[in-house]
Amino acid sequence: MDEELLSVTYFTRQVYLVADDIGLARDQILFFLVTVFCFVAGLLFNTILPSSRVSTTVRHAVLTGVGVGVIVYIYGVVQSGVLLVTSLICQLLMLYAPGAYMHILVSVVSLGLLAGTHIYNMVYFYGDYRVDYTGSLMIITAKISGLAFALHDGKYKKVEDLTVAQQGRSLKEFPGTLPYFSFLFNFPCVLAMPCSIYQEYESYVTGDNLPEDIRSGKKALRSNLVPALTKALAAFAALAFHIVAGAKVSIINLSREEFIASTSFLYRIAYGCVAGLVFRCRYYFAFVFADATCNAAGFGYGKDKDGNEHWDTATNMRPLTVELATSPKTSIENWNIHIARWLRWVAYERSPWQPRLAAFCLSAIWHGFYGGYLVTLPFAGLLGDAALKLRRNIRPHFQGSWAMRHTYDHITRVCTILSMCFTCTPFMLLEFWRGFRAWQGVYFYGAIIIAIVLLTVPNKKSASRSPTPPETGEQAGTGGKTAKPHGE
């Protein structure tokens, strides 16, 4: 067969010509165009094939077919084949592996293949941010392992041994081949999240996520178009800022000796905060636009605890909350929300020993093995512990009036921005020694302050603590255990 037809390079070459003409990276412009296509396809899908008009099988088939077409186009046949074969192998394990160990085998195989991909990229494309199938493989791996644990919980565990969240996610039977591949490869989510749980996705396809009065036509569904367009515009704004500011500010400068030698300490800190924001905006575009695509396709509808309708079930990132958080915990919890939920459900809640270490190890395998990742991930845990200590000792003194509470919020917001900038710099630079040089350039201020806090500030218990499940929206039901709380 002709090589161009086999790898679908005829069409991508046309895109590459356009990218070269306007001076943008080829893979990035291709990713941009495909995500826009998915958004438009989502609008058409929700308009032409709503759950009230066509069968669940038709919706699964279209979501899967378009999704597979998207990955073949953007990644090519070989890389797409890796994704499909991985999914097939894990499906066979779910169906035929010994039930007591099935979830472990599926997780080991899927994470092992992902780890191999990370190592391959480090060997042949070290330090290169590029668009390839690794991102989709990361999403699929999280979905597959989560589904395997859900099946294990439903088949082999007693209800009283499950947390409330685990009860809501457990499955008695494998969902079937078409729903399984639809869950993994549906076009709104295959490129850039969210990593939803299976029940959320299945209820979207069947329409069971909608209240009865809406399904029966007695009440109109709140329009998905406004939130979809609003999120799309926000994503485009993040992309525009990334492109414009990125031409002048680069995170890599923080590790360059000439930059460190020619700038002041305060300038380097301020530059790092701006450069980090510019860097994160590429992720804001990808994740927020994926959220918009889900909404365009009708995925994301839900109700909050007060019964108010929203379109945020598929939301994987809240940029304003991340950037303006008053604590590191709040910032982290609003970044990659669905993966944090997966880490907690699969590792943190289940580990009989050192649950935080288990979650860290799983996160490290999932993200990859760059030294910068392996520095930032555990350091973020230390930062959270230090921030919690300070909060419990200082916050009570600022609760006397409205002015004092807001003063406290503004102070902690600035401290969070500075501490998160310091903590995440190695993650963004990837390489350990680049991150070390960047930290050295600001005299390790974050590490020194955190060490002083952890060693000198006394431990205080929270004034009021009540155990809560890991996520809102999963507190319905009775019986079972609640998850271990993270803290304040």
Residue numbers annotated as active site: 336, 367
CA distances from 424 to 22, 89, 270, 438 (A): 31, 35, 14, 11
- d(C-alpha 39, C-alpha 70), whole Å: 12
Instruction: Report the distance separating Cα 167 and Cα 479, nearest Å.
Output: 9
Query: Position 113: which residue type?
Result: L
Distance (Å, whole) CA 316 – CA 460: 33
Question: Which of 369, 431, 374 lies closest to 118, judged by CA?
Answer: 369
Could you give the angle at the alpha carbon of 68 between the alpha carbons of 145 and 221, nearest 5°?
Answer: 80
Residue 255: strand, helix, or coil:
helix
| Distance, CA of 435 to CA of 32 (rounded, Å) | 29
Pick the closest to residue 325 from 423, 449, 429, 428 (CA basis). Answer: 423
- Cβ(68)–Cβ(189) under 8 Å? no
Distance CA 429, CA 224 (A): 38
Number of helices (H) and strands (E) in the chain: give both, helices first. 22, 2
Consecutive H or E run containing 309: strand 309-310
Tell me which H or E stretch contains 232: helix 225-246
**Taking a C-beta distance cutoff of 8 angstroms, is the pair 294, 139 a contact?**
no
Instruction: State the first-to-last Cα distance of the chain, in angstroms, to the nearest integer.
Output: 60
Using omega within 30 degrees of 0 as the cis cutoff, is the peptide bond preceding 328 cis? no
CA distances to 385, 442, 459 from 453, in Å: 9, 19, 10
Are 381 and 356 a contacting pair, CB within 8 Å? yes
Which tokens sit at 242? 């990334």
> Cβ distance 19 to 26 under 8 Å?
yes
Question: Residue 319: left (phi > 0), alpha (psi -120 to 50), or beta?
Answer: alpha
* Alpha-carbon distances, residue 315 vs 120, 195, 222, 326 (angstroms): 31, 10, 17, 21
Scan for tokens 């004034």, then name that residue: 463
Q: Tokens standing for 317?
A: 């990132």
| Contact by Cβ (8 Å): 297, 42 | yes
